[in-house]
Amino acid sequence: MDRKISFIGVGPGDPDLLTIKALKKIESADVIIWTDSLIPEKIINYSQEGAERIKTGSLTLEKITSIMIEKFNSGKTVIRLQDGDPCLFGALREQIEILKQNKIGTEVIPGVSAFQIAAAYQEAELTIPDITQTIILTRAGGRTGMPEKESLKDLAKHNSSLCLYLSARHIKSSQETLLEFYPPETKVIVGYRVSWDDGWTSLIELKDMEKFTLEKKLIRTTIYIISPAISNSSHRSNLYNPLYKHLFRTK
């Protein structure tokens, strides 16, 4: 069997949202390297007795990857847990590159991302025919900055469902920019540590996004979904419309 290091998306927090594949890997790993700032201990508790659990909160990329390499080369089964889905804001590529340079194989197992759980908690559909069929996953600039062509202004012009990760600290400027393109009453799902024991979501309006953020003292682990698709008006899709025939419903 080919040995490799698995990068595992463990979802937004609730262990019930782990995939079966992720759970099996956690249960059988010798070494678990995990983002302690964004993954609850409950998930790590599925690991076997004696498994080594290494927190990455205070470590650098070099340190994290050198630990992975050392443990892997000593014959251990090593897994790297990432919150949500690893393909989003998870510094995935740089870790994989270093492992590949060291001739270590890798695999990625997807997980439920923060925007999905926040939408699910509000029972929201983010793509409604004739309103928007597009979801943008992005962040406000901040220290990491944004590619120029992806400024919030440019993205907001589409008036699509827009999910803001990592943005609570920049909510004042984000709200100002978004109000140039979305009506003030546009619905916004705000989710804090959604699916953790103390997590919640709330449905507010765009014009109140900054005020709400300050009142709730939101700084970390917060997602915003700004969406014209969330409203009380009734729209129906073609999918289940009796007048609309398709491959699986020909009559």
Write the DSSP symbol of residue 194.
T
Site map 153..182 versus ligand SAM, x via CB under 6 A: ------------xx----------------
Q: Does 126 bind ligand SAM (CB under 6 A)?
A: no
Q: Which stretch binds ligand SAM (CB under 6 A): 61-69, 192-200, 205-213, 231-239?
A: 192-200
Bridge-based pairing of strands 5-9 and 106-109 is: parallel
Tell the smallest beta-carbon distance from residue 35 to ligand SAM (Å).
8
Beta bridge partners of 208: none
Closest to ligand SAM by CB, 16 or 130: 16
The answer to whether 79 and 47 have CB atoms below 8 angstroms apart is no
Which of 113, 186 has the CB closer to ligand SAM? 113
Q: How far is the CB of 139 from ligand SAM (least distance, A)?
A: 8
Q: CA-to-CA distance for 140 and 169, rounded, in angstroms? A: 9
- Smallest gap from Cβ 141 to ligand SAM, in A, equals 14
| Residue with smaller CB distance to ligand SAM, 111 or 228 | 111
12 scored as a contact of ligand SAM (CB under 6 A) = yes
Task: Calculate the alpha carbon distances from 84 to 39, 68, 149, 210 in Å.
Answer: 9, 21, 26, 25
Nearer to ligand SAM, 84 or 228 (CB): 84
Q: Would you call 79 helix, strand, or coil by DSSP?
A: strand
Using rule CB under 6 A, residue 34 touches ligand SAM: no
CB atoms within 10 A of CB 125: 14
The C-alpha atoms of residue 243 and residue 246 are separated, in whole angstroms, by 10
CA gap 90, 29 in Å, rounded = 21
Q: Are strands 222-227 and 161-165 parallel, antiparallel or unpaired?
A: antiparallel
H or E segment and range at residue 65:
helix 61-73
Q: CB 157 → ligand SAM: shortest distance, Å?
A: 22
Please say which residue, 32 or 168, places its beta carbon nearer to ligand SAM.
168
Residue 30 near residue 73 (C-beta atoms within 8 A): no
Collapsing DSSP to helix, strand or coil, 223 comes out as strand
**CB 36 → ligand SAM: shortest distance, Å?**
13
Residues near 128 by Cβ (< 8 Å), separated by ≥ 6?
A: 229, 235, 237
Smallest separation, CB 70 to ligand SAM (Å): 25
Total interface residues for ligand SAM by CB under 6 A:
23
- Closest separation in Å from C-beta 106 to ligand SAM: 17
Closest residue to bound ligand SAM by CB = 84
Residues that bind ligand SAM (CB under 6 A): 12-13, 38, 83-85, 88-90, 113-114, 165-166, 191-195, 199, 220-223
